[in-house]
Structures are given as structure tokens and as C-alpha cells.
């Protein structure tokens, strides 16, 4: 049995370019699909957030239209209610990477607010990459890679094949003209080899021990790849 660290956002908002706060958090499917895959395989999950804050869910990710209908939405909500790990996160600053076999970052707009500028998360990501342990990051969670840069702006992730929520998807979601910055732009500026798939279709990239997914639909295929690695 492996022990997998889920690093999650600790905020329930995303500050837009006009200064307003858009209610958000983590995206349900991006937690649930890997959670189900890992726990069904017998693995242990530990949730960590900055300050051990209980992670907030993006309410939009619970809507029927985000889950293939009312039955899908009800199923997602049921799994979240039963996931006791969400109610008792550990403080990200207390995490010992040596205790874990893999690391996974679910998305939602929340990581754009906190993990993108969190030095503790940035160091954990750099250490996880160097360790060779499977490291999975999906959708908006690659924003956390921005915190891996040093004072000169250099990141160990530069040159890695990476995907994440694209400019096209942010435009179609209605936020591209409201955001302070776009994830794809910032990741390209960081020096990663950003790969773009069809909007909203499953798309993952695997480069060495780094596993990234483009959007919510990519979370289940990403989890399957991480399971194979484990």
C-alpha cells in the first residue's frame, strides 16, 4: 500500500483583475476521480493545505451540468461527504516528503490564489521532482509550479513537458478577460514546454516523474497513470 499526499488550496476565493473575489476552491472531479482510484487500489491518502485549513469546494463543480447530470452530481457529493481526509488536513509546512510515495495536486481556481505564491509548496514540488517519486498536477494546480522559481526566476521544471488549463479553456469559461494573469502564459514564461490539447477533452503529459493533466476530464486518466507508476 502506498501513501499519497494530496496538496490542496486553502482559500475559497480567487482575486480577479478588478480586485473582486470570485468564490472558488478546489474542483470536485479533480479530487474525487483520483481519490476513488487510489483508495479502491488500497492506497492511503493524506490531505495537506496551507495552515491545515479544511479545503473549500468550488460550488460550481457540484452542479449537475459539471457532472453529467443530477445522478453524477449526487454521486460526487456523496463521495466528498464520505472522504474523511478532507475534514482533517495536515499543515503543509509540517509535511515530510519522505513519508509519502507520491504527490498529487488537484486544481480549481484556488491554487491560482495561494499555491502559486506559496514557498512551502514550491519547495515541496522541487523536492518531489528531484526525488523521482510520481508527481501529479492537474488543471489549474500547475499554478503551484510558479512558486518553484528561485530569485533569478529559474525553475527545475523548466524544459519539462507540462499541460494545464489552457488560455482557450479560460476564455470559454468566461474568465480570460477578468483574470490578473492566465496560467498558460505564466507557465510558458517559467520555461516549461506547455502542451495544448483540445478544449475540455482529456489530455495528459508524462515527462519523467511529472504527470500533468489539462482539465477536469483529465483527472481520471492522470490518476490511472499515477497508479501504473506506483
How would residue 74 be classed by pLDDT, with cut points 50, 70 and 90?
Answer: very high
> pLDDT by residue (tens digit) across 112-166?
999 999 999 999 999 999 999 999 999 999 999 999 999 999 999 999 999 999 9
> pLDDT by residue (tens digit) across 202-218?
999 999 999 999 999 99
* pLDDT cut 90: percent of the chain above it: 100
Distances from the Cα of 58 to the Cα of 98, 109, 128, 189, angstroms = 31, 8, 27, 28
What confidence score (pLDDT) does residue 150 get?
Answer: 96
Question: What's the whole-number mean pLDDT along residues 60-80?
Answer: 95
* pLDDT cut 70: percent of the chain above it: 100
What confidence score (pLDDT) does residue 130 get?
Answer: 98
Contacts of residue 200, defined as CB under 8 A and 6 or more positions apart, other chains included, come to 169, 172, 215, 217
Using a 10 angstrom Cβ sphere, with 0-12 exposed, 13-18 middle and 19 or more buried, the burial of residue 37 is middle
What confidence score (pLDDT) does residue 137 get?
Answer: 98
Is the overall model pTM greater than 0.95, yes or no?
yes
Question: What's the whole-number mean pLDDT along residues 2-12?
Answer: 98
What confidence score (pLDDT) does residue 190 get?
Answer: 97
Q: Alpha helix locations (H) across 49-140?
A: 70-82, 110-113, 119-131
What confidence score (pLDDT) does residue 8 get?
Answer: 98
> pLDDT by residue (tens digit) across 179-205?
999 999 999 999 999 999 999 999 999
What confidence score (pLDDT) does residue 229 get?
Answer: 96
What confidence score (pLDDT) does residue 203 get?
Answer: 98
pLDDT averaged over the chain?
97
What confidence score (pLDDT) does residue 36 get?
Answer: 97
What confidence score (pLDDT) does residue 7 get?
Answer: 98
What confidence score (pLDDT) does residue 90 get?
Answer: 98
CA distance 84 to 88: 7
How would residue 27 be classed by pLDDT, with cut points 50, 70 and 90?
Answer: very high
Amino acid at each position: 500500500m502506498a501513501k499519497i499526499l494530496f496538496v490542496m488550496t486553502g482559500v475559497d476565493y480567487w482575486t480577479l483583475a478588478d480586485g473582486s473575489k470570485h468564490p472558488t476552491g478546489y474542483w470536485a472531479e479533480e479530487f474525487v476521480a483520483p481519490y476513488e482510484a487510489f483508495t479502491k487500489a488500497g492506497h492511503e491518502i493524506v490531505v495537506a493545505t496551507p495552515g491545515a485549513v479544511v479545503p473549500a469546494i468550488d460550488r460550481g463543480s457540484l452542479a449537475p451540468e459539471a457532472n453529467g447530470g443530477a445522478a453524477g452530481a449526487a454521486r460526487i457529493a456523496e463521495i466528498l461527504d464520505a472522504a474523511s481526509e478532507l475534514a482533517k488536513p495536515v499543515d503543509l509546512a509540517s509535511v515530510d516528503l519522505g513519508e509519502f510515495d507520491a504527490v498529487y495536486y488537484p486544481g480549481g481556481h484556488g491554487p491560482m490564489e495561494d499555491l502559486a505564491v506559496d514557498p512551502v509548496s514550491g519547495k515541496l514540488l522541487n523536492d518531489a521532482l528531484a526525488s523521482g517519486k510520481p508527481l501529479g498536477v492537474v488543471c489549474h494546480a500547475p499554478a503551484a509550479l510558479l512558486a518553484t522559481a528561485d530569485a533569478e526566476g529559474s525553475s527545475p521544471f523548466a524544459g519539462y513537458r507540462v499541460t494545464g488549463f489552457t488560455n482557450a479553456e479560460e476564455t470559454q469559461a468566461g474568465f480570460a478577460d477578468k483574470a490578473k494573469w492566465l496560467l498558460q502564459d505564466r507557465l510558458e514564461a517559467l520555461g516549461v514546454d506547455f502542451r495544448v490539447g483540445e478544449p475540455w477533452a482529456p489530455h495528459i503529459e508524462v515527462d519523467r516523474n511529472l504527470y500533468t493533466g489539462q482539465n477536469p476530464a483529465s483527472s481520471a486518466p492522470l490518476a490511472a497513470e499515477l497508479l501504473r507508476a506506483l
